[in-house]
Amino acid sequence: MPGKARPGASIATRPLERLAVEQCHEGMALFDHDGRVVIWNDRLAEMTGRTARSCIGRPLAGALEQAGIADAGGVAAALSGIDVSPRRGELRSPDGRVVTVELMIRPVRDHASRVVGGSVLVGVVPDAAEVHRAVVESERIHRQRFTDSPDAILVLDRNGRYVDANPAVCRLTGYSHDELMTGSLGAIWFPGEHPSAAQWFAGLVASGVSRAERSIRHKDGTRVHVEVHAVAVDDGTYQVSIRDIAERRAAEERLYEALQRLRFHVDRMPLGYIGWSNEMVFVEWNPACERIFGWTAEEILGRRWDVLVPEHALGPVAEIIDRLLAGDTSSHSINENLRKDGTIITCEWFNTPLKDSEGRLSGAASMVHDVSQRQLAESQLREAQRLESLGVLTRGIAHDFGNLLTVIQGGLTLINRRRDTSHEVRAHLELVDGAARKAADLTDHLLAFSRTGRHNPQRSNLNDIIRNAMVLVRSSLAESVHVELQLDDAIREIEVDRGQIEQILLNLCINAAQAMPSGGAVTIATGPSRITAAEAARCMPMDQPAWGPRVELRVTDTGCGMDEAVIRRIFDPFFTTKTEGHGLGLSAVLGILKQHGAHVLTESSPRKGTTFRIFFPVEGRMVNGTPGSTRRTASAEEGAAPRRGRRRIGAGSARETSKRHVRKSPAQGARRNRRG
């Protein structure tokens, strides 16, 4: 018969099957088609006192009988393919005790359903008294846990009425155990709570489980926030665990308020704040960052770091990021960055890595602010200090040189007065005197740059000074240079030294003419003005404020123009781009402007001409930061060398286009006064 064990068939003892038998918590053995033991596990050895070594290879029936277990034909039935019903017997344990066991013998078949052996499972049947004791102990432990639980636990019947309640329920609700047992869940359900107690219990009955945050009512009427977790039990009751979450909610409220305060500070602080993922992708972006870089949070979040870095700075910034992600906790750098509109700014960065509770990198945080204006101010301060140092040096040289010229010219005067001086000697003396006059003029330029020359300010109209200076200006320029005036009669009077303003006009016009060797046009214009913040940052000198109403003098030429490198140095003493000249003309202009509290802005580009815009204050210059008197006379200590000789002024003319105003309405007049 195919169901019976056949000679040659063997029971499989693959590693997984052997492990299952050996790890079984009951006594278990396998036997082959001859009824001999193949596997005898440790639990069965412990129960019978017979080792696996002594049983393997021997008939199973004999091994069981030696242990005091009657086989009663079970092995033979299993080898015939019959499932033997469980049977009980007695087993004498190694310690001499007789215990009741249950024996189950089953045939084992291969993939072709042929019986290749069998298995036997031996389990100890617990004593009824022991079972009762175990049940009682289990109930005692359960009751103890129920009573000692810090969470309130209710037991409800199928109608939602109380079956039991632990002491924590009484503490939470203020009701005694007896009071609770006479009521239902609705007694502690807070009025108006949705869903109602009945609706909530109906949902629990339908689903078998419920978990949510609710509000219950204390006996004194106060609201208590709780978390309710309910589950159906096999005996038809429902166990409801209620946890007071007042402290947790208070902690959550405090945390929420703290986060709100932090967000308030982050959103309103002047420094930019950026949160990064561990892949350096933007995850946080405060309003200050929007002002610095021009990107809104919606536009930038999700992008990578390189959107803020110009191409030439990608390498150095990537090295900073690598050090940051490697755990550098004190990362500080000043980098060039890119705004959304493409402009490059300089920013100072303070970075720190962020780690999770296990110390793994979770991202980074950065504080950033734009230091472009600060660096510009520092550069301007260094430039002002450099020019001040040059002024001190120049002043000393000019004073000493002026004293030497005084001696030379005094000696020349005495020699000229001698009657015995020959005509030939007098001719040489005139050459020496001419050279001394030129040297004196050079000294005046040096003193003007160092702000110690003669300065006699008077309340004057700038247009009148320009018109009076035109004869001198025109005679100093070539015929191929055309001068045009565009003077606005609406300008207010200013306190200036007329002679020094004429010197400024002459120097600027001569420079303009030298920039137009083939001829061209020079336009001199005036008008009321105010300096914008952007213009103030580019004005010279840099060491004085440049705010408030101004009268503007504008000198424009159509010459060759200058690049930025030349513009930055044109006011330096002895700097010149011409093959001839001493390089003091514009430095003298700057010195005179400092004495007047005025500022000059140079606008030029190659092959597009040059414009000098000079802004005179209408309320007098600033002295030590406060408006003060503009009158000043040169003292003997200043060593101001007197100007010697006279310039020969030739005939000339200049065409003027005057902006004369017709009668205006009161509103127009008010607007003009605000501008002036």
Paired residues of 318 in beta bridges = none
Q: Locate 610 and state its tokens.
A: 């040059």
| Segment 452-461, tens digit of pLDDT | 455 678 899 9
Q: Which fold has domain 131-244?
A: Beta-Lactamase (3.30.450)
Tell me the pLDDT band of 556, cut-offs 50, 70 and 90: very high
Between CA 539 and CA 541 the distance in angstroms is 6
> Can you name the CATH fold of 252-370?
Beta-Lactamase (3.30.450)
Length of the chain (residues)? 676
Question: Taking residues 537-554, what's their average pLDDT?
Answer: 77
β-partners of residue 555 are 524, 612
User: Is residue 281 within 8 Å of 302, Cβ to Cβ?
Assistant: yes
Among 65, 68, 66, 10, smallest CA distance to 39 is for 10
The neighbour count for residue 588, using CB atoms within 10 Å, is 24
Amino acid sitting at position 370: D
Contact 548, 592 (CB under 8 A): no
Domain extents for the chain? 15-125, 131-244, 252-370, 376-412+422-443, 454-635+645-659
pLDDT in tens, 333-371: 888 999 999 889 999 999 888 888 888 888 889 999 898
Query: Furthest-apart CA pair in the chain: how many Å?
Result: 170
pLDDT at position 305: 92
Mention every residue, 6+ apart, whose C-beta is less than 8 A from residue 188: 173, 175, 216, 217
pTM tops 0.85, yes or no: no
Q: Which fold has domain 15-125?
A: Beta-Lactamase (3.30.450)
120, amino acid identity: V
Instruction: Summarize pLDDT for 49-70 with one digit per residue, the tens.
Output: 888 888 889 998 888 887 777 7
SS3 of residue 288 by DSSP: helix
Give dist(CA 596, CA 299) in Å, integer: 50
Secondary structure E strands in 340-443: 344-355, 361-370
What whole-number distance in Å separates Cα of residue 406 and Cα of residue 440? 9
Calculate the alpha carbon distances from 557 to 199, 340, 477 in Å. 92, 37, 13
Instruction: Determine the topology of domain 454-635+645-659 in CATH.
Output: Heat Shock Protein 90 (3.30.565)
Same topology between domain 15-125 and domain 252-370? yes
* CB proximity list for 389: less than 8 A, separation 6 or greater: none
Alpha helices by DSSP H, 174-313: 177-181, 197-207, 246-268, 287-293, 297-300
Whether the pLDDT of residue 177 is over 50: the answer is yes
Tens digit of pLDDT for each residue in 528-544? 998 887 788 788 876 65
Q: Is the pLDDT of residue 282 over 90?
A: yes
Residues 543/377, Cβ–Cβ less than 8 Å: no
